[in-house]
Amino acid sequence: MSTRRQNTTLIATLGWLLICIVALLLAASVATAQTARDDSPMGFDDARHLLNRTSFAAQTADIENYARLTRAEAVDRLLAETRRHAAYPAPAWTAKYERVYRPDMTQEQRMQANRRELIERGLEIRTWWVAEMLSTPTPLTEKMTLFWHNHFATSQQKVRSAQLMYRQNVLLRSYALGNFGALLREISKDPAMLVYLDGAQNRKGAPNENFARELMELFTLGEGQYNEADIKEVARAFTGWSLEPETGEFRFRRGIHDDGEKTVFGARGRLNGDDIVTLLLRQPGTGEFIVGKLWQEFVSPELSPAAVKRLAALWRDSNYEIKPLMRAMLLSDDFWSPANRASLVKSPVDLVIGSLRQFRFSVEDPAPFAIILRQLGQDLFGPPNVKGWPGGEAWLNTTTLLARKGFLNRLFRADEMLKPTLAAGDDMAGKQDMVAQPAAALIDRDMMGERRQRAQTRLAVRGGAADRLPPFGVSNQLRGQYFFNADEWFRQMRAAMQGGRGGDDDKIVRTLLAGPPVQAPREVPHTLAGLRTVALDPMYQLK
Amino acid sequence: MTLNRREFLAALSAAAAAGVGVVAAPGAFAQSPTTTATSPYKRLLILVELKGANDGLNTFVPYADPAYYALRPTLGIKRDQVLQLNDKFGLHPALDLLMPMWAKGELAAVTGLGYPQPNLSHFRSIEIWDTASNANDYLAEGWLARAFATVAPPKSFVADGIAVGGGDLGPLANGSRALSIASTEAFVRQAKLADPHGRASNKALQHILRLEGEAQSAALNIDPKVTLKTEFPTHAFGQQVKTAMQVVAASPGVAALRVGLGSFDTHQGQPGTQQTLLKQLAEGINAIRQASLELGRWQDTAIVTYCEFGRRAKENQSNGTDHGTANTQFVIGGGVKGGLYGSHPSLTQLSGDGNLLFTTDYRALYSTLLTQWWGFSGAQSEKVLAGKYAPLSLFS
């Protein structure tokens, strides 16, 4: 028998062996799932799965706490803890609406003022949201706020007012786990949206179809569920949904509203925008489209049409309350199915905020992380277009995957650390395996982007946002720096662990990775370098 | 028989690939043994996506048609500002850098491009253009991915195609050896961290390991020390063009590059936005020309613009235009036979919803590129495009 032939036989044998092993493993996990009774504590791995899907990477102590709960208790607790307001104080200028375009300005001054606002305030609200995500006691609130920001995608680049973008963010958060019907109604009157999709330009006799089209294609029904005639009728119904220039508030202008008869989805009458929202909420397609998006955010990249239909019906029956829907989805068999674990690609927010929270990095100025999110493809307040970020596997291409690895590599780079500016005589200084360096050093200078983005990056590097925002982080001595002490982190991890199967190292890896490492060792050395190895493992990109 | 670790891993990977469906190894792509010299792909295609749908009527202006000014009483480009190509059509004044190319016979305008039952959603329509599908067919693979599956680019190339700027892969998606690169410096430096080894236990990991492999092998084929003398515009599009041309200069080859600029979605305040973007477009194209001349590649380079649709014939009352249908695109290069191709849609006989009626299927442009530029046979082109589309004679 030739060597080639032997190899083929060997490969075939190994192949069969592998299939058998996989089959056995699957059988075992199904058995485990079946024996986990609904009224028994869910254990470490289930708790890890739930928390990592619903928060920004959970810490061991939280996982251990949730492990004692049943799945239902855990989901109820997560949902009960969500909030309607951000905790981190917003920049002072958000309190008052100031128009950038003042009538007395020359054209040149207006352009300059506008440019400055886009850069400075744009960086400040991005930094503010990053700070909220880093510090929130209820990450699920922020995940859902981000979900709706992506769903009702609106970009500051066109809105050209950080103030209106901030207000929209406040709106999204207040309904993030509230009532979708009410949110949809509010969004149709949201000033940032009225600017972004030209609703403010939509007048009787001169309809602008932009909002009408995206309302049906992207916000409710999905493409193919309506026709061009519907778009024209819906655009007419929303004429007069406008803005008050002095306050930036919604204003209904009767004079430019077309109150003639319209026919939409078989309903005929003098329909206005509110009527259209009501009609859209009656269409089964609306719930199914949005449940499908939530499914791909929280459960699996593969849609299960039957499950989506069931959840959408339940959602409509509960009058589009978001919490009961989330509860049903998070308690579905699909959510817990072993096949769906580690199946989702982390978003840049998951990756960056998750890493900083999980390892308890001390961050003095979060602005550089807003810039890093942009470099990884998720510019907060700046989605690529009205469809939002495509998400899923599309988060990763050769550019963004390499940028992620570059970021993670630098995050744990002890050898490049500047000697920390810790107080002299501090017994931590110099002895331990730690990083303390300017967060701005994490920004890849070769990926600066377009002109406004370059200006914003330079501002973030200078600490320009930190001067104007409420102080963030633990230590003024760490001005502009981020700080991480690996020794201390490992000590706290060990203290938080409560035994169970596997050794400490096994549990550390099980905390950090959604599944078995692909390249990293299962025994992670208790050093910065060891953590870097885990963070660079392909499994670290998944949740 | 004993196996060392590496052989064991290789066998395991193969087994995994066979049994569970996994694993990527760099260079493990099915390729014909064509060399660069004889390959049709010594001719380079640079696609420029005008994101958000450029208004063709104000780009390639039918300035002699009174119906144009009737439809565009405020937005219409004034006759005395149009850069005249002939007695009927002219370019938007922001495109003045293209005029020398027109004079040299290097610029072709293909007008009336569209498809039956036009879809007016940005996202669906660009998918149709990217996948070369009918309005009602949903195809997963980009049309270039299918082209490269039919006639494979040389294995020695850094990639079949590259999407510059870090966005989606568009016409290169699903099947081709495609890279996304934002900056060659960052790419080569960061690729040192890429590691394709290991077993992928699900689809997402498979995707990651494939990317790691592609990045690792591509980075070995880009020499970051090679630089061009050409100066590139500092705006984002100029920088994309710079990255694209650096790849051409510093790698063994690539068949297609995709760059993009936007947003041209000018529902409101069109004049300023379009002016800025078209100026950037012309500056970028001019820089591609300069760099190609510097590399001696201008005869072998074709720049082709595209977008999801044109805009509504009649201006709206927000000083802008809504989504429309048929559009004009440019094909530019040293080997291009300059001139006007296709017939311009009538401005008086519009569709029921006020849109232009297309006169040339957009896939005729693709079949031209496949057969006339890359030398595919008619049968091969038909296979890629799932249909027969008479090519235009765009190339000399």
ipTM score of complex: 0.87
Residue window 516-535, chain A: list those with CB within 8 Å of chain B: 516, 518-519
Interchain CB distance below 8 Å, A22 and B20: yes
- B203 pLDDT above the threshold of 50: yes
- B82 pLDDT above the threshold of 60: yes
Residue window 279-338, chain B: list those with CB within 8 Å of chain A: 316-318, 320, 322-323
Q: Which residue has the higher pLDDT, A315 or A114?
A: A315
Out of A15, A208, A516, the one facing B318 most closely (by C-beta) is A208
B121 interfaces chain A, CB cutoff of 8 Å: yes
Q: Are A197 and A386 in contact (CB under 8 A)?
A: yes
Q: Which residue has the higher pLDDT, A460 or B338?
A: B338
- Among A447-451, A490-494, B120-124, where is mean pLDDT lowest? A447-451
- A37 pLDDT above the threshold of 60: no
- Among A28-42, A115-129, A450-464, B126-140, where is mean pLDDT lowest? A28-42
Q: Are B91 and B61 in contact (CB under 8 A)?
A: yes
Q: Are B180 and A400 in contact (CB under 8 A)?
A: yes
Q: Which residues of A touch B170 (CB under 8 A)?
A: none
Q: Which residues of B touch A210 (CB under 8 A)?
A: 267, 322
Biggest alpha carbon–alpha carbon distance for chain A:
91
- A15 pLDDT above the threshold of 70: no
| β-sheet bridge partners, residue A369 | none
Q: What are phi and psi of A55, to 5 degrees?
A: -140, -175
Nearest to A173 by CA among A217, A118, A132, A215: A132
Taking only the tens place, the pLDDT of each residue in A358-400 is 998 888 889 999 999 999 999 999 998 899 999 999 999 999 9
Nearest CA in chain A to B354: A228
Structure tokens that stand for A269 in this block: 């009458």
Q: What pLDDT was estimated at residue B33? A: 37
DSSP 8-state assignment for residue A518: S
Out of A342, A387, A447, the one facing B202 most closely (by C-beta) is A342
**pTM, rounded to two decimals:** 0.83
Q: Which residues of B touch A11 (CB under 8 A)?
A: 11, 14-15, 18
Q: Are A242 and A206 in contact (CB under 8 A)?
A: no
Q: What pLDDT was estimated at residue B167? A: 76
Q: Which residue has the higher pLDDT, B270 or A454?
A: B270
Interchain CB distance below 8 Å, A223 and B124: yes
Structure tokens that stand for A192 in this block: 């940032």
Q: What pLDDT was estimated at residue A16? A: 54
Closest Cα in chain B, distance from residue A400 (Å): 7
Residues 6 or more apart whose CB falls under 8 angstroms from that of A172 comprise: A145, A148, A149, A152, A183
- Provide mean pLDDT across the span B367-390: 97
* Residue B85 CA from chain centroid, whole number: 24
Taking only the tens place, the pLDDT of each residue in B296-325 is 999 999 999 999 999 999 999 889 999 999
- A344 pLDDT above the threshold of 80: yes
Taking only the tens place, the pLDDT of each residue in A110-121 is 888 888 888 999
Residues 6 or more apart whose CB falls under 8 angstroms from that of B381 comprise: B367, B370, B371, B389, B391
Nearest CA in chain B to A301: B204
What's the Rg (C-alpha) of chain A? 25
- A465 pLDDT above the threshold of 70: no
- Among A15-19, A197-201, A471-475, B359-363, where is mean pLDDT lowest? A15-19
Q: Percentage of chain B surpassing pLDDT 70?
A: 90
One-letter amino acid at A269 equals: G
Interchain CB distance below 8 Å, A518 and B14: no
**Which residue, among B205, B209, B222, would best test binding to A if mutated, counting the most A CBs under 10 Å from its CB?**
B205
Most confident of A106-110, A185-189, B267-271: A185-189
Most confident of A91-105, A347-361, A490-504, B4-18: A347-361
Counting one residue from chain A and one from chain B, the pairs whose CB atoms sit within 8 A come to 187
A384 interfaces chain B, CB cutoff of 8 Å: yes
CA distance B205 to B305: 35
Look at strands A262-264 and A267-269 and give their pairing. antiparallel
Nearest to A346 by CA among A285, A280, A391: A391
Nearest CA in chain B to A21: B20
Structure tokens that stand for A534 in this block: 């885990």
Taking only the tens place, the pLDDT of each residue in A80-127 is 999 999 999 999 999 888 766 667 888 888 888 888 888 999 999 999
What is the average pLDDT value for chain B, to the nearest integer?
90
Residue window 210-269, chain B: list those with CB within 8 Å of chain A: 211-212, 214-215, 218, 234-236, 239, 263, 265, 267-268
Kindly report the number of other CB atoms within 10 A of residue B396's CB atom: 12
- Among A396-400, A437-441, B179-183, where is mean pLDDT lowest? A437-441
B182 interfaces chain A, CB cutoff of 8 Å: yes
Q: What pLDDT was estimated at residue A100? A: 62
As to burial, measured by CB atoms within 10 angstroms (0-12 exposed, 13-18 middle, 19+ buried), residue B303 is buried
Q: What pLDDT was estimated at residue A507? A: 84
Sign of the alpha-carbon torsion through A208, A211, A215, A216: positive
Nearest to A132 by CA among A323, A439, A357: A357
The pLDDT-based confidence of A11 (bands split at 50, 70, 90) is: low
Residue window 70-109, chain B: list those with CB within 8 Å of chain A: none
Q: Are A484 and A531 in contact (CB under 8 A)?
A: no
- B3 pLDDT above the threshold of 50: no
What's the Rg (C-alpha) of chain B? 22
Residues 6 or more apart whose CB falls under 8 angstroms from that of B353 comprise: A228, A232
What are the Cα distances from residue A299, in Å, to A33, A329, B132, B347?
16, 8, 32, 50
Interchain CB distance below 8 Å, B236 and A16: no
CA distance A369 to A439: 8
Interchain CB distance below 8 Å, B193 and A536: yes
Q: Are A528 and A412 in contact (CB under 8 A)?
A: yes
CA distance B361 to B367: 10
- Provide mean pLDDT across the span A510-526: 90
CA distance B132 to B137: 9
Structure tokens that stand for A276 in this block: 């259209």
- Provide mean pLDDT across the span A440-448: 80
CA distance A241 to B200: 51
Q: Percentage of chain A surpassing pLDDT 70?
A: 85
- Transcribe B279-306 into DSSP letters: HHHHHHHHHHHHHHHHHT-GGGEEEEEE
Structure tokens that stand for A368 in this block: 């550089």
Q: Which residues of B touch A447 (CB under 8 A)?
A: 182-183, 186
A387 interfaces chain B, CB cutoff of 8 Å: yes
Q: Are B187 and A448 in contact (CB under 8 A)?
A: no
Nearest to B170 by CA among A394, A345, A448, A213: A394
Nearest to B313 by CA among B261, B269, B350: B350
Q: What pLDDT was estimated at residue B38? A: 65
A18 interfaces chain B, CB cutoff of 8 Å: yes
| β-sheet bridge partners, residue B164 | B181
Q: Percentage of chain A surpassing pLDDT 90?
A: 62
Closest Cα in chain A, distance from residue B192 (Å): 9
Kindly report the number of other CB atoms within 10 A of residue B185's CB atom: 16
One-letter amino acid at A424 equals: A
* Residue B340 CA from chain centroid, whole number: 20
As to burial, measured by CB atoms within 10 angstroms (0-12 exposed, 13-18 middle, 19+ buried), residue A2 is exposed
CA distance B103 to B88: 16
Q: What pLDDT was estimated at residue A174? A: 98
**Which residue, among A398, A401, A457, would best test binding to B if mutated, counting the most B CBs under 10 Å from its CB?**
A398
Look at strands A481-485 and B327-332 and give their pairing. unpaired
Place of tokens 């075992």: A28
Alpha helices in A333-392 (DSSP H): 333-336, 348-358, 367-375
One-letter amino acid at B208 equals: I
B192 interfaces chain A, CB cutoff of 8 Å: no
Q: Are B207 and A393 in contact (CB under 8 A)?
A: yes
A8 interfaces chain B, CB cutoff of 8 Å: no
The pLDDT-based confidence of A307 (bands split at 50, 70, 90) is: very high
The pLDDT-based confidence of B12 (bands split at 50, 70, 90) is: very low
- Among A10-24, A442-456, B70-84, B335-349, where is mean pLDDT lowest? A10-24
Ramachandran category for residue A499: left, alpha or beta (phi over 0 → left; psi -120 to 50 → alpha): left
Structure tokens that stand for B282 in this block: 């012309």
Q: Which residues of A touch B202 (CB under 8 A)?
A: 342-343
| 3-class state of residue B165 by DSSP | coil
Out of A202, A398, A449, the one facing B180 most closely (by C-beta) is A398
Q: What pLDDT was estimated at residue A454? A: 84
Q: Which residues of B touch A342 (CB under 8 A)?
A: 201-202, 204-205
CA distance A479 to A52: 30
- Provide mean pLDDT across the span A195-216: 93
Q: What pLDDT was estimated at residue A502? A: 57
Interchain CB distance below 8 Å, A405 and B20: no
The pLDDT-based confidence of A464 (bands split at 50, 70, 90) is: low
Q: Which residue has the higher pLDDT, B170 or B7?
A: B170
CA distance A178 to A320: 9
Q: What pLDDT was estimated at residue A23? A: 53
- A352 pLDDT above the threshold of 80: yes
CA distance A530 to A507: 14
Q: Give the containing element (helix H, strand E) for B164.
A: strand B159-164
Structure tokens that stand for A85 in this block: 């307001």
The pLDDT-based confidence of B17 (bands split at 50, 70, 90) is: very low
One-letter amino acid at B127 equals: E
B194 interfaces chain A, CB cutoff of 8 Å: yes
- Transcribe A214-228 into DSSP letters: HIIIIIIS-TTSS-H
Q: Which residue has the higher pLDDT, B34 or A62?
A: A62
- Transcribe B169-180 into DSSP letters: -GGGTTTS-EEE
Taking only the tens place, the pLDDT of each residue in A135-173 is 999 999 999 999 999 999 999 988 989 999 999 999 999
Q: Are B50 and B281 in contact (CB under 8 A)?
A: yes
Q: Give the containing element (helix H, strand E) for B161.
A: strand B159-164
